[in-house]
Each structure stands twice: as structure tokens, then as C-alpha cells.
């Protein structure tokens, strides 16, 4: 199966996780999902990432978003690792972790790092409630992810869908429009002329508004 592209239905698969067997994305219909891979259990950077994801778990839940981890480890390894995190770091990992011990899912989704054996890269797939892939992030093994950026992406995509607007750079602290959003450019002359009267604009093709 070819690598999934943004805007396409996410590939279906069945997987064993620390919370039982799941059928993805069917079991998560109606919810946003952050599916993310990590290179391996019991590694320092991955441990910091799981800790950081769990610390923001309730924030994701408020956005109707579920977290799902994945690596090419057996489920026994996952269970022991999350036990270690709870015992040593005082945080209980509440989201499921896929045990892709044969690497079929990782290979299907392009997660394998060619120069690092069979380990997975730090991939992030954001899937919407209809099972459509909306965003993809890939990080090298040596660089941990920024979970606040992933939260920002979920918020931005949800606002874009609801309001029909675009989200500027560094939103909600953009250097030009602050916490406002971008109005889609006009597609005809009459609308272009009206835009300058209806919104705050740098020009007819660059207008913004408050939510």
C-alpha cells in the first residue's frame, strides 16, 4: 500500500495495543486522533515524549482528540515500560501503545528509519473524525517533539474546519495579525472590492478577522 497523503482516507489496520486490540481508524470514528511512533521503549528521549504527551492528555481530550503511540516492540515491552514510567516518574500513561513487533504498520506508513536499523522515526499523523489524514510530521531520532505544537495544530485545524478560515504562522501569536485568522482570498473582482470594507486588510488578498 502506498504512503498515505494529506487529504486521503487513512489506511485501515488491526493492531494489538496496551489497551487491547483496535481496528483503526474505525474504532475512533467521530474523534480526532494523534497517531505517533517512537524509536524504541526504554530510551531517554522517547520517555520524555511519553511523559510530555501524558501531561497534556486532558488538553487533547478536551479537543475530542485521542492519542495512540506505536513502535516496533512487543506488547510486553510496552507494558513494562509504561509501568516503569508510572513507578519512577509518577505518571500513568492512559493512551494505548501499538505493538507493531513485525513492523508491518510502520513499513506501511513509511515510519522505518533506513539508517537506524528497524527503528521507527518520530512520526506524527493527525487524523480527523472522518478518518482523513490532515497533517504529517516527521522528526529524526535525535530530536524530541514539541507537544504544544501538536496541540496548536489540532486547535488550528478544528477552527479552520468550523470557520472556513486559514491559520497564520505562529498563531495565536502571529507577528502581523496577532490572534486573528486569515480570511480566504477573494476569487472575483466584486468580492475583492468588498473585502477591503468588510475586514481589516493589508490588501484585498490579505485580510484577517477575529474569531
Catalytic sites, residue numbers: 46
Contact assessment for residue 146 and residue 157, using Cβ atoms and an 8 Å cutoff: no
- Rg of the chain over Cα atoms, rounded to whole angstroms, equals 20
Q: How far apart are CA 105 and CA 102, in angstroms?
A: 8
* Spatial CA neighbour of 12 closest among 110, 137, 105, 98: 105
**C-alpha span between 34 and 136 (Å, rounded):** 10
Rounded to 5 degrees, φ, ψ at 21 are -75, 140
Amino acid at each position: 500500500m502506498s504512503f498515505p497523503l494529506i487529504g486521503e482516507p487513512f489506511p485501515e489496520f488491526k493492531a494489538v495495543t496496551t489497551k487491547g486490540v483496535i481496528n483503526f481508524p474505525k474504532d475512533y470514528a467521530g474523534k480526532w486522533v494523534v497517531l505517533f511512533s517512537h524509536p524504541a521503549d526504554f530510551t531517554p528521549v522517547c520517555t520524555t515524549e511519553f511523559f510530555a504527551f501524558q501531561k497534556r492528555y486532558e488538553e487533547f481530550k478536551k479537543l475530542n482528540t485521542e492519542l495512540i503511540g506505536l513502535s516496533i516492540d512487543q506488547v510486553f515491552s510496552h507494558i513494562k515500560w509504561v509501568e516503569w514510567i508510572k513507578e519512577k516518574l509518577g505518571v500513568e500513561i492512559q493512551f494505548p501503545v501499538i505493538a507493531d513487533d513485525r513492523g508491518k504498520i510502520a513499513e506501511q506508513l513509511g515510519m522505518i528509519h533506513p539508517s537506524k536499523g528497524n527503528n521507527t522515526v518520530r512520526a506524527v499523523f493527525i487524523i480527523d473524525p472522518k478518518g482523513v489524514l490532515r497533517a504529517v510530521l516527521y522528526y529524526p531520532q535525535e530530536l524530541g517533539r514539541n507537544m504544544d505544537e501538536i496541540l496548536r495544530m489540532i486547535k488550528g485545524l478544528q477552527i479552520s474546519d468550523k470557520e472556513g478560515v486559514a491559520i497564520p504562522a505562529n498563531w495565536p501569536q502571529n507577528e502581523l495579525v496577532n490572534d486573528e485568522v486569515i480570511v480566504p482570498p477573494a476569487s472575483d473582482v466584486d468580492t475583492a472590492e468588498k473585502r477591503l470594507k468588510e475586514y481589516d486588510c493589508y490588501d484585498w488578498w490579505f485580510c484577517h478577522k477575529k474569531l
